[in-house]
Amino acid sequence: MNYRKRLLLILISLIGLSSLAAQTETKNQKWDGSRTTPVHLIPLKDEFDQLIVPSESFPLPYSTRYSCAPCHDYGLIQDGYHFNSASSSQHGRAGEPWVWVDPATGTVLPLSYRSWKQMWNPQKLGLTPWDLTLLFARHMPGGDFAEPKSDETSPESRWNVSGKLEINCMGCHNASRIQSHSEWAKQVLRHNFRWAATAASGFGEVGGMASRLPGTWDIYDGPNPDDTEWAVVPFVSYRPEIFDTKHRVFFDIPRKPDDQRCLSCHSIYRVGSKKYSSEEDIHSAAGLKCVDCHRNDISHDMIRGYEDEAEELDNREVSDFTCKGCHIGPDLSRKGGASAGRLGAPYPRHSGIPAVHFEKLACTVCHSGPVPERNFTRVRTSRANRLGIYGVAQWFTDLPHIIEPVFIRDSTGRIAPHRLMWPAFWGSVEGETVQPLKPAEIEAAAADILASEKHIAEILTAFTLYSGIEGIPVLVTSGKVYELNVDGGLDASLYSGMETRSETLWAIKKEEIIAPLIPDFDPQAEEVDVDVETRIQKALESLATISDAPGQPVLIHKNALYQVTDGYLEIKEAPGETVEIPRLSWLREDKVQPIVSEFDVRTVVATVGEEHTLTEEQVIRVLQSLSSLGNPQKSGEAKRFFYISGGRMFRLDESGNLAADEHPAAEPVVWPLAHRVRPAQQSLGITGCTDCHTEGSVFFFNSVRGDGPLKTQRMAVRPAHAFMELDKPYQKLFGLSFRIRPLFKVVLFVSVLVVGSLLLLMALVALARYSGLIEKRRQP
Amino acid sequence: MLGMLFVLTIHRFRKSKEVSGKSPDEVVVNSYLPWLFSRLFAFFKTAGIKGWRDRYQRWVVLRHPSRDRLVIICLGLSFCFLAASGFPFALLSGQRLYGIFLLLHVMLGGVFAVSLPLALISRARHYSFDREDTEHERAASLSGGTGTSHTPWSKIFFWLFAASGLCLIVTALTLMLPYFSLAAQMDMLEIHRYSALVSLLSALAFTYFSRVDDKK
């Protein structure tokens, strides 16, 4: 045997051995046919594939990759639909985006790695997997972009400190009520990525915060005995009672994951509804679980259940798990079929509903989501509005504003109910290229323009340090009272006290009585009240604590200027005009300026306590600032900055005014809704055709109004029929025809009676004639 | 439908040869097409307002008493529109009726449903299969009255048209009632389609046979 032959033989042997090894590995995944669930009593392994012994000092958190790996192919699971948004090229029907919400800059930006319409790819925005993990991993099951490959790190990332966010198997599969999504979210917020699954599963208690550790820290460094207060290295205290003598832990894994686990990230809340009155999806009420329809094998390629999924995946079996697959079967007009009736799905008779409805409409139009009303239903979703995280702080956000059901003709030509939100973001446009700007870039360019509420909150916070009085410091202006809330922002309420002498009044609220912080006094009096002087001094000292104050705090009244110098209240002659009412101000280089600018007051009055957080004046100023910073005259190509909100693109025109235009980037983001499926008795059309077909039908003639952080009258309005690509006059006429339809049916019925009777009569006559009966009777 | 048109034109062709005194055996096939084209040419030549006015006189005024004319016109025009809107969609687009055509189809369907029983009430006696009535009609016709003579074929097709019209109305009505399942509706729709075909063919045949033997 020569050298080449030997080499070939070795090569073939190696290939054979490796394929045998591969077969052995896949054997682990094979189901033996038993319908029981194996008891998951397994040893915990850390990220170095080492057995975790809870009694050891500084035990590491458990790693799903290594703890579950002996039986389950982690690599295969990683490619499943729940974990492949950043790596897959197969995206399917549009789904809910991640929404980057930054109220301070008015940013509501829909993001997705999947190539869905109107959603921005995070990569194109310069967002790294690290950024995305910090923003959104609170509502994801780990893996995906939160577990990047080692070469996907970015300069600002701290994966070495936080660890990677492995797939949290127990996040979905744990049947124990101790599994806590809130704990998961909190650990993510603390950058405790590698500890999050352990904390959330309740296997142990996790302390410390990776976010406070220096970027040079590494898991090999272990705990820091010198700092047990602030930069505490994350640690796990395992619950010893859950381990057996072989250091194995019982994983309470049922055959089918509980709905509660799915709902941690997939809840929908109808804004304003009470918990007790919230209804379940009819499938859940009937005892089905989410995974009864949304099935998957070890690949975790979950069936989404929409009509064209089977075609897209080239897997006909998937079509059995659509509404039609279970309730009707393959033939729309005939009962029965291979998949029909699965899980006891009733066959819908759809009595009296013309067949055209089944061609043009998705099942969800009549059966899912809220019943259409004049005002669209505002909903919050777990992922977009941060629902389901419980703690002292309020986690959920009002933004983004999502409405449903908006009926839209999708790419398949069918009309289906969708959820809709209007994007809002700052950006630049160069030629045809639109580039959103990150909130941090806007904050840098806007400086104080977007900080009006913060300015006033800072002053009120400073006054709370004022120990001389009892009560809550407030600002009274424009008939409203503004006071601090627990989040450090402002709350507004109506002012019902006496008319104030000035536009803005700093005051103290005590038992609903509002009195000026600095009472009126006569500075020319021989002796000013000591209490007043103390108040002035305390107020000025409080203001002096504000960092980045624009000057020295002073009080001006008539022609007197009060300031604190070396701990003493000093009285000087005020520069400029006299002031009739005591006025707190900043003194800088002998120039006096109000303690808060009129712009700040205007902005706060316009936005605090309102749904909108920005004014047109703010937008103009920010756009001017962006233009001056980011568009040097020497640049050849004009880069124009814009702000998108409420379906309009706002830009400065040549005269510096704010122009609102339509632009594709300002169009709403939509994705189909599938749940909550209502009972048949609550389906659209159950009370007749006029549920939709009337001349004033909300189904056809509702309007979707643009919505966003900007307070403006120039928002986009989209009629419902336009989303469905339907003709309004025709639908009006068609709706009107239903007014006379009952009469029409009577006419047809009478017609049938008359024609039928005549035909019967004639048939009898013909029969009599051809049988000779008539001739016989006529014979004498 | 083309077959029906072919049969009827052949029948008319042979009839015209009979009228001109020739035996049908003498009729040669290759003279059919020139005859057909000449008739079509003659038809379109008189397709102006005057031509249609003449036809209206011959087909409506002479045949029907004034009290029946409106009903006959409504029935004829509504039927023409229903056929013109229904068949092209079914044959050419492969889709069901939709849009403004559907709306007009339904509205004129109502006109058809009203005018058909009225037309039957006024004309049923004339198309009765009773022998004596027929002789009476012929006598009235020959004496210059409004009655006409009717061949058995015209009677058959008259009643076939009425029966298919009944099917059309019944199926249209049932499609609007909330009692039938989707499967039943699909069957109704099929019956509606085939009834429409039968009614169109019977209408063509009836029109032909009621004219070809008409002495007026």
* pLDDT tens sequence across A195-215: 999 999 999 999 999 999 999
Q: How many angstroms separate the CA atoms of A184 and A188, rounded?
A: 6
pLDDT bucket at A242, cuts 50 / 70 / 90: very high
Task: Take residue A509 and report the two structure tokens written for it.
Answer: 């609220």
Mean pLDDT of A125-135: 93
Residues A504 and A646 in one domain: yes
A98 near A125, Cβ under 8 Å? no
Q: Find the closest chain B residue to A358 by CA distance.
A: B182
Q: Cβ A755–B169 below 8 Å, yes or no?
A: yes
The domain boundary, picked from A628, A659, A690, lies at: A659
Judgement on whether residues B85 and B7 belong to the same structural domain of the protein: no
Across the interface, do B106 and A730 touch by the CB < 8 Å criterion?
Answer: no
**B183/A752 touch (CB, cutoff 8 Å), yes or no:** no
Instruction: Chain B: give the shortest CA distance to residue A763, in Å.
Output: 9
Partners of A554 in beta bridges: A563, A585
Select from A710, A86, A708, A726 the least CA-distant residue to A420. Answer: A708
Q: What average pLDDT does chain A have?
A: 88
Spell out which residues of chain A touch residue B117, defining contact as CB-CB under 8 Å.
750-751, 754-755, 758
Among A575-579, B11-15, B194-198, name the most confident range. Answer: B194-198
Contacts of B185 in chain A (CB under 8 A): 352-355
Q: Whole-angstrom Cα distance, residue B207 to residue B213?
A: 11
Which H/E stretch holds residue B176? Answer: helix B152-176
Say whether both B206 and B105 belong to one domain.
yes
Both B148 and B65 in one domain: the answer is yes
Domain identity same for B74 and B123: yes
A688-702 burial: b if 16+ Cβ within 10 Å, else e = ebebbbbeebbbbbb
What Å distances lie between residue B188 and A115, A151, A696, B162, B181, CA to CA?
44, 65, 31, 18, 10
B133: closest CA among B150, B154, B146, B116?
B150
Residue A672 neighbours by CB under 8 Å, 6+ apart:
A93, A94, A306, A362, A364, A410, A416, A417, A418, A419
Question: Does residue A340 surpass a pLDDT of 70?
Answer: yes
CA dihedral A723, A729, A733, A736 (to 10 degrees): 70
Do the Cβ atoms of A555 and A540 come closer than 8 Å? yes
Q: pLDDT tier at A615 (50, 70, 90 boundaries)?
A: very high
What's the CA gap between A9 and A3, in Å, rounded? 10
Contact call for A349 and B182, based on CB within 8 A: yes
Do A621 and A508 lie in a common domain?
yes
Both tokens of B126, joined, read 């004339």
Question: Residue A755 belongs to what domain range?
Answer: 748-778
Domain count, chain B: 2
Query: Which of A672, A723, A675 has its CA nearest to residue A700?
Result: A723
CA distances from A199 to A91, A130, A134, A229 (A): 32, 21, 17, 20
**Placement of tokens 């897997």 in the chain:** A315
* Chain B residues in contact with chain A using a Cβ-Cβ cutoff of 8 Å: 96, 98-100, 103, 106-107, 110, 113-114, 116-117, 120-121, 124, 128-132, 159, 162-163, 165-166, 169-170, 172-173, 175-183, 185-186, 189
Question: How much is the pLDDT for A23?
Answer: 45
Do A650 and A763 reside in the same domain of the chain? no
Q: Are residues A580 and A450 in the same domain?
A: yes
Number of domains within chain A? 2
Highest mean pLDDT among A11-15, A306-310, A769-773, B40-44: A306-310
Mean pLDDT of A769-780: 74
pLDDT on residue A333: 66
Say whether both B112 and B145 belong to one domain.
yes
* Of residues B77, B73, B68, B60, the one with CA closest to residue B120: B68
Same domain, B33 and B80: no
User: Which of A620, A638, A659 is the C-terminal boundary of a domain?
Assistant: A659
Which residues of chain B does A727 touch, with a Cβ-Cβ cutoff of 8 Å?
99
Q: Is A529 within 8 Å of A537 (Cβ atoms)? A: no
Q: Is residue B184 located within the same domain as residue B98? A: yes
For residue A731, the SS3 value is helix
Q: Name the β-bridge partners of A429.
A: A434, A640
Q: Are residues B7 and B103 in the same domain?
A: no
* Residue in this structure with the two tokens 């509501």, named with its chain if needed: A108
Q: Assess whether A464 and A580 both reside in one domain.
A: yes
pLDDT tens per residue across span A405-448: 999 998 889 999 999 999 999 999 988 899 999 999 999 998 88
User: In 3-state terms, what secondary structure has residue A174?
Assistant: coil
User: Is residue A346 domain-resident?
Assistant: no
Pick from A135-144, A339-348, A527-536, B45-54 the range whose average pLDDT is largest.
A135-144
Indicate if the pLDDT at residue A514 is higher than 70. yes
* Three-state secondary structure readout of A49-80: CCECCCCCCCCCCCCHHHHCCCCCCHHHHHCC
Rounded to whole angstroms, the Cα distance separating A517 from A510 reads 11
> What is residue A435's predicted lDDT score, i.e. its pLDDT?
94
pLDDT of amino acid B22? 59
Is there a contact between A751 and B116 if contact means CB atoms under 8 Å apart?
Answer: yes
Phi first, then psi, for residue A32 (nearest 5°) are -85, -5
List the domain range (segments joined by +) for residue B36: 1-45
Those residues with Cβ within 8 angstroms of residue A424's Cβ, 6 or more apart along the chain or in another chain: A106, A107, A108, A109, A643, A644, A645, A646, A708, A709, A710
Residue A488 pLDDT class (50, 70, 90 cuts): confident
Question: Residue A251 burial (CB < 10 Å; 0-12/13-18/19+)?
Answer: buried
**Which two tokens mark A12?**
């073939």
A152-197: per-residue pLDDT in tens? 677 889 999 999 999 999 999 999 999 999 999 999 999 999 999 9
pLDDT in tens, A276-328: 888 899 999 999 999 999 999 888 999 999 988 888 888 888 888 999 999 98
- CB contacts of A774 in chain B (<8 Å) are 130-131
Task: State whether B90 and B188 are in the same domain.
Answer: yes
Instruction: Say yes or no: B184 and B140 in one domain.
Output: yes
Do the domain assignments include residue A645? Answer: yes
Q: Are residues A457 and A600 in the same domain?
A: yes
- Helix (H) / strand (E) element for A652: namely strand A648-652
**ipTM, two decimals:** 0.83
- The residue behind tokens 């021989």 is A526
Amino acid (1-letter code) at residue A489: G
Q: Which domain-ending residue is among A659, A690, A723?
A: A659
Q: Is A773 inside a domain boundary?
A: yes
Residue A637 covered by a domain? yes
Query: What DSSP character marks residue A689?
Result: G
Enter the tokens of residue B211: 């004219």
- Do B75 and B155 fall within a single domain? yes
User: Which residue reads 């038993």 in tokens?
Assistant: A34
Inspect the interface and report whether the beta carbons of B96 and A356 lie closer than 8 Å. Answer: yes
Instruction: Report pTM.
Output: 0.85
Half-sphere exposure of B182 (CA within 13 A, CB side): 17
Neighbours of A531 (CB within 10 A): 12
Do B83 and B12 lie in a common domain?
no
